[in-house]
Amino acid sequence: MINKKSIWFLTLFSLILVLSVYYVTMPNELLLTTSVINQKEKEKTEEVSKDTSKKEKATVKTEESEILTSIRMEANEKYNQELEELKTVMTSKDASTEEKNNAFEKIKSINNNRGKEELLEKKILEQFKYQSCVLINGTDINITVSEKKHDAAIANNIMRLVQSEFDSKMYITVKFQK
């Protein structure tokens, strides 16, 4: 007989599954408009907090641009599609052991790259105070920085920071967009 804990677990798991499928199938336009709305609300709260607490030390909050959000969403869609294809290979009964191992290694590589991308974005934000989007594709690293001013010295410093995270030579490009 099924006990209450099992029913609760299945109910919550089903809810999480439905919400994740909904999020994955959600159109990009809806995600971009909600991010713009959230950004406007954050700006309003910043203005209110600045007016109410003029004596307190002002904190600088950086907001992510729409360009970075769209680049990141496209990359996430590409990653998710590739991961789904690799997972179907891994779960396929017809696939050989070698194909399954290769698919597993590719999944591991993708996850490692995504972790490195997030780490590099965080370091760029901490060190240079710029929002950025980092995409790693093999030995190519594309960095998009949300800034109007195109500064070769800053781009060079960002390249050096990123290269210091890797043992082998990487081909790094930095692009400034606002």
Mean pLDDT calculated for residue range 17-32: 73
Chain centroid, CA 96 distance in Å: 33
pLDDT band at 156 (very low <50, low <70, confident <90, very high): very high
pLDDT over 70 at 136, yes or no: yes
Higher pLDDT, 23 or 110: 110
Question: What is the reported pTM?
Answer: 0.60
Contact 146, 65 (CB under 8 A): yes
- Which residues are 176's β-sheet partners? 145
pLDDT over 80 at 49, yes or no: no
pLDDT value, residue 150: 83
Domain chopping of the chain, boundaries = 1-42
Hey, what are 55's tokens? Answer: 């004596």
pLDDT band at 62 (very low <50, low <70, confident <90, very high): very low
pLDDT over 70 at 31, yes or no: no
CA atoms within 13 A of residue 21's CA, in its CB half-sphere: 6
DSSP class of 86: H
| Helix, strand, or coil (residue 150) | coil
Note the pLDDT tens digit of each residue in 66-118: 888 888 889 889 989 998 998 888 888 888 889 888 988 999 999 999 999 99
Higher pLDDT, 137 or 57: 137
